[in-house]
């Protein structure tokens, strides 16, 4: 596989039990491995930014995670706080309750409001649609809605739902999104083989807490 796999990876630690020392270790691993970003809980953004300030590794954090049903003004406050603390990238869960209720007008208003501070601060916005909970029709509708906005990524999953990333979801997203919008596959990605399949299906970023094992498998990979 003739790619720089490390440049696809968001090295992730989002468990409720994540400690400051876990984040320290995450940042050291990300820096030494050349990962694209670390993805950390909001409370650890400032510390991760200090540790990675002299590297090329970006600091990502999550907004309205993992449920997505915070009021829009709460999400907006989270985004502004994350930017203030130094986050480079924002992974925001959309209001899935609104989606399942067919309230697309709310989703339009939500992204218009939440995208503004990210755009003004030149931050990367990734929208998490929790594809494992959606029908194919709903996933296509998400792509059709969010392709109209200046987002950088649509992201498959939080990793906290019953279903994570799937090849089918990535394929649908790639088919219905412009090339200017990347796809972040996340949730249940534990092997290089699966990461490789997702990238070949169109994923441009891989979110995983199993990055080091995936890189070890990649280093040992021998193409047929």
**What's the Cα-to-Cα distance from 34 to each of 6, 30, 181, rounded to whole Å?**
6, 6, 23
180 and 146 Cβ atoms separated by less than 8 Å: no
Segment holding 38, helix H or strand E: strand 37-40
CA dihedral 138, 144, 146, 149 (to 10 degrees): -170
Q: How many CB atoms lie within 10 A of CB 17?
A: 6
Sign of CA dihedral 42, 46, 52, 56: positive
Catalytic residues: 91, 155, 184
Helix, strand, coil shares of the chain, percent, nearest 5, are 50, 15, 35
Burial class (CB in 10 A: 0-12, 13-18, 19+), 75: buried
13, two tokens: 């630690």
Helix axes 20-33, 211-219, angle to 10 degrees: 30
Coil vs helix vs strand at 156: coil
């Amino acid at each position: 596989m003739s790619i720089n796999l490390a440049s696809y990876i968001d090295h992730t630690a989002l468990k409720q039990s994540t400690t400051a020392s876990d984040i320290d270790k995450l940042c050291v691993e990300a820096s030494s491995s050349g990962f694209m970003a670390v993805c950390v809980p909001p409370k650890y953004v400032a510390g991760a930014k200090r540790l990675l300030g002299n590297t090329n590794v970006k600091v990502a954090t999550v907004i309205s995670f993992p449920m997505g049903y915070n009021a829009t003004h709460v999400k907006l406050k989270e985004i502004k706080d994350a930017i203030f603390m130094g986050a480079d990238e924002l992974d925001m869960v959309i209001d899935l309750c609104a989606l399942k209720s067919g309230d697309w007008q709310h989703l339009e208003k939500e992204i218009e409001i939440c995208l503004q501070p990210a755009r003004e601060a030149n931050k990367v916005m990734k929208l998490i649609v929790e594809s494992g909970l959606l029908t194919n029709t709903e996933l296509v509708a998400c792509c059709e809605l969010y392709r109209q906005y200046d987002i950088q990524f649509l992201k498959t999953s939080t990793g906290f739902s019953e279903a994570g990333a799937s090849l089918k979801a990535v394929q649908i997203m790639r088919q219905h999104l412009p090339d200017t919008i990347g796809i972040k596959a996340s949730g249940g990605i534990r092997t290089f083989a699966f990461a490789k399949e997702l990238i070949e299906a169109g994923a441009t970023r891989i979110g995983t807490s199993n990055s080091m094992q995936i890189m070890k498998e990649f280093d040992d990979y021998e193409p047929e």
